[in-house]
Structure 1
Amino acid sequence: MKNVSYLLLIPLLFSCGKESSENAQSRNILENLTFTVDTVVVDSGVDIFILSSGLGTKSLNQDKSKLLFFEKSPLNLVQVDLNKLKLVSKTSFQKEGPNGVGSNWLRFQLGSDGDLFINGYTTQGIFDARGRLLKSLNVVPEGIEPDLANNVQQLYENAVYDFENNRIYSQPPSQGNEKHLLFIIDPITKELQIEPIPEMKAVMEFTGTLVVDGMINFFAVDNQMYIENQQLLLTVGAMSAVYRLDLMKNSFEFINIQHKNFPNRMTFSVNNSTVEQAEFNKDRKKVFEHLNYMEPRWDESRVMFLRLGKKTFVGKKREDPSTYEVFLFAYDQDFNVLGETKIEGLKQAPGSYFWKDGKLWSYVNVEDELGFAVIDFKF
């Protein structure tokens, strides 16, 4: 195990300020927020980590003692013991053939029994931890439009699998930016349940593209769909609100979360397909510098949802680094606001992060070693 001083490894990432927002609301549990930062480095033993693409999609086991992610070239499933901070194993997966997962970008989830749901460019199914395909899930539900039925890639783009209830959730691309739908698919009966999600139009509303000499410039707000605390949650960075499918009660609702001291959604407009560089830059600046909400994650130790938000300020010159303002929000299990604050002194937005034992673990590359900034919030 390697323990390294975070401030020595990554200077200027954080400063020592610990004051919370002066505008914090009354009965705000984050009003007196403080934090400390440490850095841990994972021991790779005689092996090495291939981190040219960062962590990419990652998953934790149930007790969050192990982290899993894929190295791309060669394609290896990596398992790391987060308690002992050491590499456990690397397992080779096939890109092609009967057990192939595809050669392009892929997403995966870890089931409670150690099996993986892998959602790739051409393959979707359940694999075991040794890379063997156990069950293909490239099913076409009944009653969908022919164009979508003939395009499994679009049908299951960024799909989520419910291991406990054997359901697949997906958001196929909207038709003409008018239909925004959640598909709930039974892969055995091929039955389809559809739920309208009109507020997810914000995904497209705050996306911009500019084509210059055949090169595409692009900006967008983040959007997520994932299972957390026995709920399927749908979020988009342009708003604080969430869609929630309660997997225990089988109830679906839109929860319009209301903060007192911070904007709850983007209210301006952008040109989605401009031909002018100046207009593109202006729209991107508006989106980035507005509060972008990240996904709420359940903290078992505090029995609440915790959520980050960020504002991004792009440098004036291409070579200038971006700067950030970072925010923390807390909700109860029904998404009532418990606290909200700007995190004074946090100078970088955490990336590829997760919560473990009440602390935020944010991936950092430490001289090509796998490291994490571990942020301990006190409130």
Structure 2
Amino acid sequence: MKKLTPLFSLLVFFACGEKDENSSGKSDFNFSYSIDTVQVDPGDHLVYITGYMTTATPSLDKKVLYNLNPKSPELEIIDLDALSFQESIPLEKEGPEGIGNYVSDLVVTDQGDFFFIGYESLVKSNPELDQYKRFSFQADKLSGDKLEENEGIDFGAIPSKDGNYFFGTYSVQMFQGKIGGLAVVDLNEMSLKKIPIPELENLVDFNINQYQDGRPMMSTIERIWLNEVDGKLYLTNSTRNEAFIYDPKLDSLFKKEFQSSITDNAKKGLYTKETNSDEEMSKAMKEKNKEVNFNELIYDDTNEKFWRVSSDMDRMIADSVVTKNILTIFDKDLNQIHEEKIDFNITSMLSFFKEGTLYSYINLEDEMGFTLIKPSYE
């Protein structure tokens, strides 16, 4: 197998103090980046890319990408240095060594253990994929803080880097109700700790709900993003320009609010929230897309910086919304140090830093590829 040559390259330089939309307000921060696009050599294998890439995750050393095909099921091994498919490992859905029928997320811990996460399903495997353990987060299975009636731990939670804890949010009626705060489950003791965050409760007010004959049929939800870095948990959301940082060792929670000179700092909610047809839902979604949307934090452990790409309406062309992408950079303590309008986007499906370069998944004619963004802060 050989590493494919870049499909194209672009070098972009920027220094603060030019246009308002490209300024962090700090004249001593110089930022540039180069962009390449590469394709993974699949060999004779058809690499699985038909989902949203939530079942793909890199190893701790970023040498390997584990890509789960939950349909087969099988675990594909991608060599990130050679950018080539290496092998696939067959798995089972059911039985004592089954990963579950509806796996939607894959996480690998620092010890190499695998977590297969699904709707109300969590399965842990050792690195050799020959020992499996199942967890249940039903109220009667957990000690510690009590889940109230109709409360549940939300889909989209993550295990800790060491694999001993499970971090998520808890809410009423799961997804459609108010978010109460953070839920931390000790997987060894199966005990629950709830950390209330009242500021999250009104995120539900930005949902769009569709009804049929008065019955709820579907609902959009605001995203909650969870990231663990150096033992601290970072919670952000798609609605507001803010972050909550929880330190499990100190049992402390504090909030940071950020200010953007390019986008709004929160959604305004100026769109229809209740719809009764697909047409009404589509119209409401188009209006909602005019408002700001904040994406997840991505940590660059080489340069000790967080990146986040957000979007907001730039202009209208006829009845189509044209959005602009904004890159915000934070230091290790999550202090905002830079923001600028960018011409590229970072997919929320699969993006991670490897040796100081951001790898962002891209579909290249139904083959796996990555946009490589290498920053320079000199």
Residue among 143, 146, 163 paired with 1:144: 146
Q: Distance in 2 between matches of 1:178 and 1:55?
A: 28
Deviation (angstroms), 1:137:
2.3
Counterpart of 1:22 in structure 2 is 19
Aligned 8 A contact 1:157 1:172 in 2: no
| 1:325 partner letter | K
Aligned 8 A contact 1:94 1:131 in 2: no
Give the 5 Å matches for 1:146-295.
147=149, 154-155=152-153, 157-164=155-162, 166-174=164-172, 177-178=177-178, 180-211=180-211, 219-275=220-276, 280-281=281-282, 283-295=284-296
Stretch moving more, 121-130 or 287-296: 121-130
Residues 330/136 of structure 1: CA separation in 2 closer, same or farther (3 Å cut): same
Counterpart of 1:341 in structure 2 is 340
Counterpart of 1:12 in structure 2 is none
Q: Where does the alignment leave 5 or more consecutive residues of structure 1 unmatched?
A: 9-14
Aligned 8 A contact 2:100 2:123 in 1: no
Counterpart of 1:113 in structure 2 is 111
C-alpha distance after superposition, 1:299-358 (max 9, x if no partner): 12222211111236899899x8x7542111111222211111111x33x45342222222
Stretch moving more, 207-216 or 100-109: 207-216
Residues 278/42 of structure 1: CA separation in 2 closer, same or farther (3 Å cut): closer
Stretch moving more, 155-164 or 91-100: 155-164
Q: Secondary structure at the match of 1:205?
A: helix
Counterpart of 1:47 in structure 2 is 45
Stretch moving more, 136-145 or 225-234: 136-145
Deviation (angstroms), 1:147:
4.3
Q: Distance in 2 between matches of 1:261 and 1:267?
A: 16
Q: Secondary structure at the match of 2:359?
A: strand
Aligned 8 A contact 1:155 1:172 in 2: yes
Counterpart of 1:101 in structure 2 is 99
Aligned 8 A contact 2:301 2:353 in 1: no
Q: Secondary structure at the match of 2:45?
A: coil
Stretch moving more, 42-51 or 327-336: 42-51
Residues 215/18 of structure 1: CA separation in 2 closer, same or farther (3 Å cut): farther
Counterpart of 1:326 in structure 2 is 325
Q: Distance in 2 between matches of 1:165 and 1:49?
A: 28
Residue among 365, 368, 371 paired with 1:367: 365
| 2:146 partner letter | I
Residue among 79, 90, 95 paired with 2:77: 79
| 2:290 partner letter | E
Residues 300/29 of structure 1: CA separation in 2 closer, same or farther (3 Å cut): farther
Residues 188/377 of structure 1: CA separation in 2 closer, same or farther (3 Å cut): closer
Q: Distance in 1 between matches of 2:318 and 2:354?
A: 37
Residues 378/90 of structure 1: CA separation in 2 closer, same or farther (3 Å cut): same
C-alpha distance after superposition, 1:137-185 (max 9, x if no partner): 2252135246458xxxx43632222253722222233358445121222
Structure number with the bigger relative contact order (C-alpha 8 A, sep ≥ 6) is 1
| 1:22 partner letter | K
Stretch moving more, 214-223 or 107-116: 214-223
Residues 293/96 of structure 1: CA separation in 2 closer, same or farther (3 Å cut): same
TM-score, with structure 1 as normaliser: 0.82
Q: Distance in 1 between matches of 2:11 and 2:112?
A: 40
Counterpart of 2:347 in structure 1 is 350
Q: Distance in 2 between matches of 1:304 and 1:162?
A: 20
Deviation (angstroms), 1:127:
0.6
Residues 156/342 of structure 1: CA separation in 2 closer, same or farther (3 Å cut): closer
Q: Distance in 2 between matches of 1:146 and 1:313?
A: 43
| 1:245 partner letter | Y
| 2:225 partner letter | Q
Residues 370/307 of structure 1: CA separation in 2 closer, same or farther (3 Å cut): same
Deviation (angstroms), 1:244:
1.2
Q: Distance in 1 between matches of 2:311 and 2:96?
A: 43
Residues 69/311 of structure 1: CA separation in 2 closer, same or farther (3 Å cut): farther
| 1:350 partner letter | T
Q: Distance in 2 between matches of 1:220 and 1:374?
A: 30
Deviation (angstroms), 1:296:
1.6
Aligned 8 A contact 1:6 1:37 in 2: no
Q: Distance in 2 between matches of 1:131 and 1:104?
A: 18
Q: Secondary structure at the match of 2:172?
A: coil
Q: Distance in 2 between matches of 1:209 and 1:314?
A: 26
Deviation (angstroms), 1:229:
3.4
Deviation (angstroms), 1:4:
4.6
Aligned 8 A contact 1:310 1:349 in 2: no
Residues 16/336 of structure 1: CA separation in 2 closer, same or farther (3 Å cut): closer
Q: State the aligned residue count.
A: 364
More strand by share: 2
Q: Distance in 2 between matches of 1:314 and 1:136?
A: 49
Q: Distance in 2 between matches of 1:310 and 1:137?
A: 37
| 1:329 partner letter | T
| 1:332 partner letter | D
Aligned 8 A contact 2:14 2:32 in 1: yes
Aligned 8 A contact 1:19 1:34 in 2: yes
Q: Secondary structure at the match of 2:288?
A: helix
Stretch moving more, 243-252 or 85-94: 243-252
Deviation (angstroms), 1:49:
0.8
Q: Distance in 1 between matches of 2:255 and 2:360?
A: 29
TM-score, with structure 2 as normaliser: 0.82
Question: Identity percentage over the alignment?
Answer: 21
CA RMSD of aligned residues (A): 3.4
Q: Distance in 1 between matches of 2:339 and 2:26?
A: 10
| 2:208 partner letter | G
